[in-house]
Structure 1
Amino acid sequence: MTLLKDLLNLGRIWRAAGYSAAGFRVALKNEAAFRQELALLVMLAPLGLWLGRDGVERSLLVGSLMLVLLVELLNSAIEVVVNRIGQDRHELSGQAKDLGSAAVFVALFLVVVVWALVLADRYF
C-alpha cells in the first residue's frame, strides 16, 4: 500500500520535476560542455531517428547521445561538490574530476562505436 501511495504522491513528483528543471537550467547556464553535447544531440538525434531501421537501432543511436548528457550532468555534479569543499588543490579532488571526465569520454566513445556499428551494418 505504501508503494502505491508513493506512486500517487503527485506533490512529490511535481517538486522533483522542479528540481530537475532547475538542474537543467544550471547546466545550460554554467556548463559549456553540456551545451555542446546538447547541441550534438539536437543535431544528431533526428538523423539517428531517420537512419535507424527499427526501434532498436533508433534507440541505440539516440540513446547513446542521451547517455552522454546523463554522464555530463553527473560529472558536473561531481565538479560542483569538489569545488564546494574548497578551491585548494588536492590530489583526491583532482582524481575525482579526472574520473568524471573519463566517464564522459567513455560515453562519447560509446556514441562513436554505436553509430559506427549501426551504420556499418546498414551500408557495408
Structure 2
Amino acid sequence: MNEPEAPSRRPLLRWHPDTLETLATRPEHYSPIISTSRLRSFRYALAGWLYMLRYQKNTRIQAFFSITVFLLGLWLGLSPVEWAILLLTITINWMAEFVNAAIEAAVNLASPGLHPMARVGKDVGAAAVLLTSVAAAIIGSLILGPPLLTRLEPVIISLLRR
C-alpha cells in the first residue's frame, strides 16, 4: 500500500524575479570607477566632503553651526546622553545635506534642461534637508537651552540692572 504523499511545502522565503535581477547586477559592470582599496574609498569620501564645503554655501553654514554646538557642548559640560543625541542629530543633518547634493548632481546629469520632474526631485531633496535642519534646531534648543540660560543668567541679570 502506498503511503499518502506529504503536501509539498512552499519555501519560507521566495525571492521575486525583480529582486533576483537586482541581486545579480554587479556594480563593476556599470560603474566607471570601482575602488579596490579602503584608503582610496576614504579619499573619495573626503573629496566629496571637501567639494561640499567648497561649493555648497549651506554646507559651510552647517559647518559653522556644528562647530558652535560642539564648543557650546564642551563649555556647558553636557552628559554623555546629551552628547549622543546632539552628535546623532548633527550627523543626520550632514547626511541629508550630502544626499540632497548627490540627488541634485544626478538630476543635473540626467536632465540638463528644465523638466518638471527634475524640479520635483530637487525640491523633495531640499525638503528633506529643511526637515532635518528644523528638527536639529529644536533638539539643539532643548538640550543646550536650559544649561545655557543657567550659565548666562548672572550676565543677563547684571545687564538688566544697569
TM-score by length of 2: 0.62
* 2:142 pairs with one of 101, 117, 121: 117
* 1:42 pairs with one of 67, 79, 102: 67
Letter in 2 for 1:104: V
For 1:51-66, list aligned pairs within 5 A: 51=76, 53-66=78-91
Instruction: Return 5+ residue gaps in structure 1 as ranges.
Output: 1-10
Is residue 77 from structure 1 mapped to residue 98 from structure 2 by the alignment? no
Q: Distance in 1 between matches of 2:78 and 2:42?
A: 33
Q: Which structure would you say has the larger Rg?
A: 2
Instruction: Return 5+ residue gaps in structure 2 as ranges.
Output: 1-35, 151-162
Which of structures 1 and 2 has the larger relative contact order (alpha carbons within 8 angstroms, sep 6+)?
Answer: 1
Provide the aligned C-alpha RMSD in A.
Answer: 2.1
Which has the larger helix fraction?
A: 1
Task: Verify the 8 A CA contact 1:27 1:73 in the aligned structure 2.
Answer: yes
* 1:24 pairs with one of 40, 45, 49: 49
* Percent of residue pairs bearing the same amino acid type: 27
Q: Distance in 2 between matches of 1:74 and 1:52?
A: 32
Task: Verify the 8 A CA contact 1:61 1:115 in the aligned structure 2.
Answer: yes
Match of 1:90 in 2: 115
Deviant stretches of 4+, over 6 Å = none
